[in-house]
Structure 1
Amino acid sequence: MTLKKLTILPTGTEILLPAGSPLTEVEYETPQRLIPFGCRSGSCGACVIEVLEGSGSLGEPDHDELDFLEDLGRTGGHHRLACQCRLRGDATVRVADDI
């Protein structure tokens, strides 16, 4: 099993997850609520993250995710819905509300 590292800012918490894991697994790896997951289906926007490093490591966003991010005013390609991402390589993210 290959582990990949997700670093979550501003805390700098590093979490190791098996390659291909959904980012929702973060909830089970630490007692802290590092990413505020809501619906887990990409329709509430609670889990918007800014990808600082490793955007290719989170998979490609689909059209619905991109449309919803645009509705939220999160354009430019650096934001994602964490609930729609799978960790395929190391990445560093920041919860968008902490910016």
Structure 2
Amino acid sequence: MTLRQLTILPADRVVLLPDASPLTEVEYETDQRLIPFGCRSGSCGACVVEVLQGGPALGEPDDDELDFLDDLGLSGGAHRLACQCRLRGDVTVRVVDQI
């Protein structure tokens, strides 16, 4: 099994997840709430992260995710809804303060 590394800032924590795992799996790998997941369906914005390194390893955002991020004023490609991402490589993200 291939493990991928997810670095989460500002907590400065590294979580190892199996290849293609949804980022929601972070909750089961640590006793801390490193990413604040809410609805898990991409409609609440609780889990917005800024992708600092490795963005392509999270897969391409779909149109609904892009539209929602645009509604939040976060267009431009640096932000993602963590609940909509799968880890396919090493990635570093920064959790965005509540919107």
TM-score by length of 1: 0.97
Structure 1: tracts of 5 or more residues without a match: none
Q: Secondary structure at the match of 2:14?
A: strand
Deviations 1:76-99 (A, max 9, x none): 10000000000000000000118x
Structure 2: tracts of 5 or more residues without a match: none
Q: Following superposition of structure 1 onto structure 2, how do residues 1-99 of structure 1 map, counting pairs within 5 Å? A: 1-97=1-97
Q: Moved runs in structure 1, 4+ residues, more than 4 A? A: none
Q: CA–CA distance in 2 between the matches of 1:90 and 1:56?
A: 10
Structure 1 position 39, deviation (Å):
0.3
The residue type paired with residue 2 of structure 2 is: T
Q: CA–CA distance in 2 between the matches of 1:60 and 1:79?
A: 12
Q: CA–CA distance in 2 between the matches of 1:12 and 1:44?
A: 25
Q: Secondary structure at the match of 1:68?
A: helix
Would you say how many aligned residue pairs link Structure 1 and Structure 2? 98
Q: CA RMSD in A?
A: 0.9
Q: CA–CA distance in 2 between the matches of 1:23 and 1:29?
A: 11
Structure 1 position 34, deviation (Å):
0.4
Structure 1 position 75, deviation (Å):
1.2
